[in-house]
Amino acid sequence: MQVFGMQVFLIVLLVAAAAAVLVLQSRSDSVNTARSRSLAAAEAFAHAPGLPRALRSRDPTAALEPLAEGARKGAGIDFITVTDTRGIRITDPQRGLIGKRSMGDLSRALAGHSFTEIFYGAPSDAVRAVVPVTDAGGHVVGLVAAGIEISNVTDLVSRRLPLFLGTTAAALAVATVGAALVSRRLSRQTHGLGPAEMTRMYEHNDAVLHAVREGVLIIGSDGQVLLANDEARRLLSLPPDAELGRVADLGLGEATERLLTRGEAVTDAVHLTGDRLLAVNMRLIRTRAGLGSRVVTLRDTTELRALTGRAEVARERLQLLYDASGRVGTSLDAVRTAEELAEVAVPRFADFVTVDLTEPVLSGGEPGGAFTTMRRAAVRGVRDSEALDPAGTRIEVEPGTPLAQYLASGEPTLEADLPGTYDWRQQDPAGGLRAVAEGFGSLIRMPLTARGVVLGLVSFWRALERDPYEEDDLSFAEELALRAALSVDNARRFTREHTTAVTLQQSLLPHDLPENRALDVAHRYVPARAGVGGDWFDVIPLPGARVALVIGDVVGHGLHAAVTMGRLRTAVHNFSSLDLSPDEILGHLNDLVHSMDEGNSSLGDGTVVTGATCMYAVYESVSGRCTVASAGHLGPALVDPDGTARFPAVPLGPPLGTASLPFETAVLDLAAGSSLVLYTDGLVEERGRDMDVGLELLRTALEEQAGLDTEPREMCRSVFDALSPSHREDDVALLVARTRLLDPSSVADWELDAEDADPAAVATVRSQAARRLSEWGLDEIAFNTELILSELLTNAVRYGTAPIRVRLLHSATLTCEVADSSSTSPHLKRAAAMDEGGRGLYLVAQFAERWGTRYPPHGKIIWAEQLLTGPQAQPQQWSVDLDDLDDLDDLEGLEGPDP
């Protein structure tokens, strides 16, 4: 009954307050309505056309009174009054007031502003609106006041009061009946317990719930929190208004929410919530209505979680070391190894990582001595940072700074509080300030040490948001740095060996090709991306306006391949000086490779050169003939002057050192402007691509460049770019030679048959040669040439076999050739004082730049070359003794000083 009486009292109080509010609200609404109606009527009448003119008329009252009365009745208001600017009424519903001054403050209207107000005064209290009347010039010429008397406004509220009171009484009755029903149900649910008993029971339950060290939650079937004790609020960090809120609205996290709302019992389930590890038990309670609530108990097992956390940290670090062993050192490149170390450590161990390597390490040298210069090899972070110098930055190590001490001692260092310490900033104070400003909190600096030598320094940085580094982290950082240091050292050694091999290989390859007038030559050589190969090429000028083109490949990579390539290239130069044919030169090379393999076998290292290939071609600019021989090498490509590219047939001999078979030659007749292309297999051979496909691509690229009429240098570059694979596994050498033909007017030749082959014919040939030299403008070397020609021709007449051929070639040099059918070879010797002969070749060697003998298929050719300019081209002043010549006939036709 106490609860019921209190409910009835509260209901009566609330209903009375509501009725009062309704009355006041109704009165306010009536006043506002009166204001709006009055203002609308006043503005409508004030803005009526002709009103200013009526105000200035002789009798404005007569003109305006009917209009004002009609407007008042139409608007349903109590009065519309028109006054002049002094406030004197011109019209008014009460005619007795016309001519009297209107009461109240009218200054705002006279200033041109409309307003409404509740007016108290004569003739009656009213809600009125005052609107100024303006003429065309905007001047106020009168005022219009309209309104409703206060008594009429309150009458409207009084008429509504019975309705308000009836409604209030009905609401009071309904609320009283509801309170009675609620009291009856509450008594039934509390089993008839009174307030005292209920209070005592609640106090006992509350004391028990809030005293236990176990969290208790009661959750309804709809997910609403019905009860939460203090321990549950602490463990789950619940807000103060958690009770009667839904579990989904408490922000507990997806896993916790799913655990608390699922409809099944749970026993000692271990669950991580925030930074606490909780043991959860949940039981279901069934009510009479069949709806189930859930009672949840929670125990804090954070200590168990701490043990589990340490085990998890150890597992994560072991996993990180495992990942580092597989991801750091995948390439033999020191910079890439540094980048891999940074990638592994961020973000699992550090927020930022910098790796600095000493300058000798990057170049493959042996680090040692004082550390003065390092290079930043890698930078990585969870975000961009201006505090850390970018990769490639040169770092000067200042003597006496902690950084110099770290490198000298090789000991790691830990800075757990970067903002609060200063020693670590001495190397770069400005960078240290930027790091603190960006939120860097702790630092581990770990020297990269291998074989007792410091190779560089790795710095692990953490931001303030993360836990700072501790002493336990040093051992892990040291293990990580040690693995990276071994990989960096391996990369350094490889770099040193690779640099040595590349330097040796580059020193063995030609740098500048010799100039010649027979061919316009361009070349391109690119080594493999990994290792050093044995590809080489050469252009060797030969006497007689000839040029030798050489290209070869020693299969394999490494220092041995480069050394073998150098030996073979030197041998080719030596054999070329003998002026042998291409097949003979390849035969000598084959014997050399055999002897090299036998020598290596005797040393017991098992190294062989088997697989070396070579192509040797000799081009003669006089005839345009090219003689080619191949030892296992791909045949050349030939681009005709019309732009057609083809692969002429060249006999393919065995690779060098694999067999002792004779090599064959092919003779190609090349027109002027043809392009002979020599290449190694790395250009046309690629993994996953057939050789024939590569050759077809080469032919297409050559024809495209020939159609553009490009120079050999541009053709070489374009062809290489078109065919070079993206990942070169082998060296690539490319040689493009465009042919030229020697002008026939630059060639003079004579032939002596058996009948003409006598000493007397020497003078005739010599005089004809002198005339030809004069035509070529070579008078300065005419004397030397006649002497050389006289000696060579005399020897051929006396010791050779007819027919005898004499040829002069005017090219970059002047070449004198004398050929006969004999295979005997003259030899240079020093004649004794009493010898009658043996001085002729000595004189030839003195006058000529160089001389020699070569053997065509039949007979021999003795040749001598002279420079067209230089000291050798000047006429020599000789005092020639008759005994210095092989025969008196040598003097016939000689011009020059007297013997």
pLDDT tens digits, 550-592: 999 987 777 778 888 888 989 999 999 888 899 999 999 998 8
pLDDT at residue 739, as a whole number: 92
Estimate to the nearest angstrom the gap between the alpha carbon of 881 and the chain centroid: 81
116: exposed, middle or buried (C-beta count within 10 Å: 0-12, 13-18, 19+)? buried
pLDDT over 50 at 434, yes or no: yes
pLDDT at residue 630, as a whole number: 95
Amino acid at 71: A
Mean pLDDT of 497-506: 76
Long-range contacts of the stretch 566-573 (C-beta < 8 A, 24+): 566/504, 566/505, 566/508, 567/592, 567/596, 568/536, 568/592, 568/593, 568/612, 568/614, 568/656, 569/508, 569/509, 569/536, 569/538, 572/538, 572/540, 572/614, 572/616, 573/538, 573/540
pLDDT over 50 at 888, yes or no: no
Q: Between the CA atoms of 353, 354, 355 and 359, what dihedral angle is there, to the nearest 10 degrees?
A: 180
pLDDT at residue 893, as a whole number: 34
What residues contact 664, with CB distance under 8 A and at least 6 apart? Answer: 583, 629, 651, 653
Q: At 539, is the pLDDT very low, low, confident or very high (cuts 50, 70, 90)?
A: very high
Distances (CA, A) of 489 to 322, 410, 665: 20, 15, 51
Mean pLDDT of 590-604: 71
Kindly give the interhelix angle for 782-799 and 840-847, rounded to the nearest 10 degrees.
150
Model pLDDT for residues 308-319, shown as the tens digit of each residue: 556 666 677 777
Query: What is the pLDDT of the chain when averaged over all its residues?
Result: 79
Distances (CA, A) of 532 to 302, 333, 527: 61, 16, 7
Beta bridge partners of 695: none
Q: At 627, is the pLDDT very low, low, confident or very high (cuts 50, 70, 90)?
A: very high
Alpha-carbon gap, residue 413 to 404, rounded angstroms: 12
Alpha-carbon gap, residue 573 to 147, rounded angstroms: 127
Give the end-to-end CA distance of the chain in Å, rounded to a whole number: 165
Alpha-carbon gap, residue 2 to 25, rounded angstroms: 34
Mean pLDDT of 400-427: 80
What residues contact 373, with CB distance under 8 A and at least 6 apart? Answer: 358, 359, 394, 395, 396, 397
Alpha-carbon gap, residue 870 to 812, rounded angstroms: 13
pLDDT over 60 at 69, yes or no: yes
Q: Which two tokens stand for residue 683?
A: 């250009």
Model pLDDT for residues 207-245, shown as the tens digit of each residue: 776 677 788 888 887 778 888 888 777 777 788 777 777
Helix/strand number for the chain, H first, E second: 22, 32
pLDDT over 50 at 479, yes or no: yes
Alpha-carbon gap, residue 266 to 255, rounded angstroms: 14
Alpha-carbon gap, residue 287 to 786, rounded angstroms: 136
The answer to whether 837 and 874 are in contact (CB under 8 A) is no
Estimate to the nearest angstrom the gap between the alpha carbon of 595 and the chain centroid: 52
Closest listed residue to residue 814, CA positions, set 851, 866, 872, 744: 866
Alpha-carbon gap, residue 590 to 572, rounded angstroms: 11
Kindly give the interhelix angle for 582-603 and 559-577, rounded to the nearest 10 degrees.
140
**Which is more confidently placed, 256 or 445?**
445
pLDDT at residue 512, as a whole number: 74
What residues contact 98, with CB distance under 8 A and at least 6 apart? Answer: 61, 89, 90, 91, 92
Q: At 836, is the pLDDT very low, low, confident or very high (cuts 50, 70, 90)?
A: very low
The answer to whether 126 and 147 are in contact (CB under 8 A) is yes
Q: At 894, is the pLDDT very low, low, confident or very high (cuts 50, 70, 90)?
A: very low
pLDDT at residue 243, as a whole number: 75
Alpha-carbon gap, residue 87 to 850, rounded angstroms: 137
Closest listed residue to residue 705, CA positions, set 732, 734, 681: 734
pLDDT over 60 at 884, yes or no: no
Of the listed ranges 15-24, 98-107, 679-688, the one predicted with least confidence: 15-24
Q: At 816, is the pLDDT very low, low, confident or very high (cuts 50, 70, 90)?
A: very high
Model pLDDT for residues 92-101, shown as the tens digit of each residue: 888 777 878 8
Mean pLDDT of 698-707: 87
Distances (CA, A) of 528 to 106, 537, 636: 104, 16, 22
Q: Which two tokens stand for residue 564?
A: 């073998």
The edge-to-edge listing of strands for the beta sheet with 140-149 is 89-91, 79-83, 140-149, 126-134, 115-119
Q: At 160, is the pLDDT very low, low, confident or very high (cuts 50, 70, 90)?
A: low
Beta bridge partners of 536: 552
The three-class DSSP label of residue 108 is helix
Alpha-carbon gap, residue 373 to 396, rounded angstroms: 5
pLDDT at residue 834, as a whole number: 46
pLDDT over 90 at 403, yes or no: no
Q: Which two tokens stand for residue 392?
A: 């490639």
Q: What secondary structure letter does DSSP report for 612?
A: B
What residues contact 336, with CB distance under 8 A and at least 6 apart? Answer: 330, 491
Percent of the chain whose predicted confidence (pLDDT) is above 70: 84
pLDDT at residue 370, as a whole number: 63
Q: Which two tokens stand for residue 543?
A: 């006497």
Helix, strand, coil proportions of the chain in percent (round to 5)? 40, 25, 30
pLDDT at residue 837, as a whole number: 53
pLDDT at residue 645, as a whole number: 92
Pairing assessment for the beta strands 625-631 and 652-653 based on DSSP bridges: parallel
Alpha-carbon gap, residue 285 to 602, rounded angstroms: 95
Closest listed residue to residue 462, CA positions, set 495, 446, 440, 482: 440
SS (H, E, C) 622-667: CCCEEEEEEEECCCCEEECCCCCEECCCCCEECCECCCCCCCCEEE
Closest listed residue to residue 536, CA positions, set 582, 570, 500: 570
The answer to whether 102 and 64 are in contact (CB under 8 A) is no
Closest listed residue to residue 374, CA positions, set 357, 362, 390: 357
Alpha-carbon gap, residue 790 to 803, rounded angstroms: 17
pLDDT at residue 5, as a whole number: 65
Q: Between the CA atoms of 181, 182, 186 and 192, what dihedral angle is there, to the nearest 10 degrees?
A: -40
Model pLDDT for residues 332-366, shown as the tens digit of each residue: 888 888 888 888 888 888 899 999 888 888 877 77
pLDDT at residue 521, as a whole number: 92
Closest listed residue to residue 460, CA positions, set 451, 863, 449, 448: 448
Place of tokens 């490494």: 558
The answer to whether 142 and 84 are in contact (CB under 8 A) is yes
Q: At 827, is the pLDDT very low, low, confident or very high (cuts 50, 70, 90)?
A: low
pLDDT over 90 at 136, yes or no: no
The string over 87-108, giving b where at least 16 C-beta atoms fall within 10 Å of a residue's C-beta and e elsewhere, is: bebbbbbeeebbeeebeeebee
Of the listed ranges 437-441, 520-524, 602-606, the one predicted with least confidence: 602-606
Alpha-carbon gap, residue 585 to 562, rounded angstroms: 21
Q: At 137, is the pLDDT very low, low, confident or very high (cuts 50, 70, 90)?
A: confident
Model pLDDT for residues 32-62, shown as the tens digit of each residue: 887 887 888 888 887 888 788 888 788 888 7
Estimate to the nearest angstrom the gap between the alpha carbon of 105 and the chain centroid: 81
Q: At 638, is the pLDDT very low, low, confident or very high (cuts 50, 70, 90)?
A: very high
Distances (CA, A) of 102 to 91, 92, 112, 316, 611: 11, 10, 17, 95, 128
Percent of the chain whose predicted confidence (pLDDT) is above 90: 11
Pairing assessment for the beta strands 860-867 and 850-854 based on DSSP bridges: antiparallel
Residue 572 sits at φ, ψ, to 5 deg, of -60, -40
Alpha-carbon gap, residue 398 to 424, rounded angstroms: 12
